[in-house]
Amino acid sequence: MSAAALTPTPAPAPTPDARISLRGHVRHTGALVRRNLLWIRQDPESMFDAVLMPVVFTLLFVYVFGGSIGQALGGGQDGYVQYVIPGMIAMMSMTLSQGVGTGFSQDFNSGVMDRFRSLPIGRGSVLFAKIAVEMLRMLFATTVLMVVAVLVGFDIERWGGLFAAVGLSAVFASSIMWVFITLGVILKNAQSVQAMGFLVLFPLQFGSSIFAPTQSMPGWLQAFTDYNPLSTLADAARGLMVGGPVAHDLWITLAWSVAITAVMAPVAVHKFRTKT
């Protein structure tokens, strides 16, 4: 037998993204979305945060803080329900965005990304599939939130405003996901991503107008809330759902979303390509 016959045939290299058509990217993204949804089906505990967080936060803030804050607003607990629910839609958009970062970290540590690297699929498909699934989780959590909100007395009078508020929250969430994708790629494990996410989320959520008006806050904290995108998102959602000024907060929120995406998406894609 000749030496040439013993020479192994090299495996074909994965197809670069540039050689994959748009249709191929869409097909790959759909397949990966299905893969991620099947994983959730096999691990239903991964949906606990999307189910329990809206319930716990709504009941906690309405029944523990609703009386005192609602009295300050002049509407009692019922008035506070109308105030806090739109803000909590904004909170869901940022809190659940953290899941995309922990998911990426787990996939890297479990070797799933090594498997993806060996397949002739577009690298961008992996990113967009993760974002799509987290958006579905966020919409599911928002649905749970609105069911609980109605049970505690929230009046949905503007259905168009409700859908607009959810859409605005989804746009903002998609921009924040690029931040957590970057953290999921560069940090060593999911616990690190969660810890860093907590340090980012906690001051942004509670240093905003989500749970209480900002007029009684110290001047330096009011200055922070004025530039906090969660405040503008919560105020825009509030205006859309229960009435009030919308345009200024809406455009500021969209501007934040575009700016965050423009800065963090290239960073996330570069770090992802470098690591994979």
Which pLDDT score is estimated for 276? Answer: 62
Query: pLDDT tens track of the chain, all 276 residues?
Result: 444 444 444 444 444 555 666 676 777 788 888 887 888 888 778 788 888 989 999 999 899 888 888 777 777 788 899 999 999 998 888 888 888 888 878 878 777 776 776 666 667 788 888 889 889 999 999 999 999 999 998 988 889 999 999 999 999 999 999 999 899 888 888 888 888 888 888 888 888 989 988 887 888 888 888 889 999 999 999 999 998 889 999 999 999 999 999 999 999 888 888 876
Residue 183, judged by CB atoms within 10 A of its CB (0-12, 13-18, 19+), counts as buried
pLDDT for res 40 = 80
Please state, in angstroms and rounded to a whole number, the distance separating the CA atoms of residues 3 and 258. Answer: 59
C-alpha distance from residue 233 to each of 6, 180, 274 (Å): 65, 19, 33
The whole-model pTM stands at 0.84
The answer for residues whose C-beta is within 8 angstroms of residue 55's C-beta and 6 or more apart is 144, 148
pLDDT at 20: 67
Question: What local confidence, expressed as pLDDT, does residue 44 receive?
Answer: 79
State residue 11's pLDDT score: 43
CA nearest to 31, candidates 126, 117, 173, 143: 126
The whole-number pLDDT of residue 18 equals 52
